[in-house]
A and B are shown apart, each in its own frame.
Chain A
């Protein structure tokens, strides 16, 4: 350890009232790996992500995927199933059905049928 003395007072003749502290020498302050291999290439500045960083990355990906899924479902609900030319063709439409018979006139037809049956009787 290196002895370090800091003076508390200064006067016209010198310094006085010394405080001292110990400082670690440079051989111990340097790590054994760096002192033993000074020519070693410096460590990369970009460190691997810690565990917390990986968790955050996975969470970001899950949020992005969920948003994409919601967008696809909304588009399917609004515009129908997705189509791609030559790969996902547009689904065949069902054949046109004849228009249904109007039902508002049924009571009148039933009345005329009843009258016709009465005449035949």
Chain B
């Protein structure tokens, strides 16, 4: 039987930022925000794809792995895995296609990856980390050093933030960002805004 290859998604740009491969898709929010379907509106690059929200739109569930607990904005079942999507808490900034890397938010990126880790550990399924901004949709592909740094500092971050049970993705990202900037082989820190 001849295997069929699935075409890759048509991302507009991609770059390695602090050890994370960031793929970005730009869209016009005035048109996309009026779409009725959740996937068509929040994941415009995957428009028409078959996927299912695990919880109704607007409701959030707890996902925990170890001492990391996340409440992602949306989790969708997509084929053999899950999509962990963050779209709330956006600062409303437009990212220009030519200069999006200069205005990149590392903390937002690390929070999305930490949320995806919590979902993946809780559901024991492969999870892709996605972020939907005002006019962009991004997918984060963290390198092994980034994953290792986040996974190995959960306990230390909980102690640092004095959390008795679990840390949030924001707390873990804040704790790990300066350590990631010191890791050798990642992108120089001065080229990435905090």
Interface membership of B126, Cβ < 8 A: yes
CB-contact partner of A5 in B46, B68, B79, B120, under 8 A: B120
Known: A21-B144, A21-B148, A24-B154. A11 touches B66 (CB 8 A): no
Interchain CA distance A18-B121 in the complex, whole Å: 13
A11 surroundings in chain B (CB, below 8 A) = 6-9
Interface residues contributed by chain B, number (CB under 8 Å): 45
Interface membership of A12, Cβ < 8 A: yes
B132 → chain A, closest Cβ, in Å?
13
A3 surroundings in chain B (CB, below 8 A) = 121, 124
B102 → chain A, closest Cβ, in Å?
25
Tell me if A's interface is mostly helix, strand, loop or mixed.
strand
CB-contact partner of B120 in A6, A8, A26, A34, under 8 A: A6
Interface membership of A14, Cβ < 8 A: yes
A28 → chain B, closest Cβ, in Å?
8
Interface membership of A23, Cβ < 8 A: yes
B164 surroundings in chain A (CB, below 8 A) = 34, 42
A48 surroundings in chain B (CB, below 8 A) = none
The answer to whether A21 touches B147 (Cβ under 8 A) is: yes
Interface residues contributed by chain A, number (CB under 8 Å): 26
Looking at A7, A13, A24, the one whose CB has the most chain B CB atoms below 10 A away is: A7
Interface membership of A10, Cβ < 8 A: yes
Looking at B120, B139, B142, the one whose CB has the most chain A CB atoms below 10 A away is: B120
Interface membership of B110, Cβ < 8 A: no
> In the complex, which residues 9-34 of chain A have their Cβ closer than 8 Å to any Cβ of chain B?
9-15, 18-19, 21-26, 29-30, 34
Question: Can you list the 8 inter-chain pairs with the closest CB atoms, starting with the nearest?
Answer: A14-B79, A15-B81, A5-B126, A7-B128, A29-B67, A21-B147, A18-B126, A11-B6
B residues near A (Cβ < 8 Å) are 6-9, 21, 46, 48-49, 64-68, 78-83, 113, 116-117, 120-121, 124-130, 139, 141-142, 144, 147-148, 150-151, 154-155, 158, 164-166
A residues near B (Cβ < 8 Å) are 2-15, 18-19, 21-26, 29-30, 34, 42
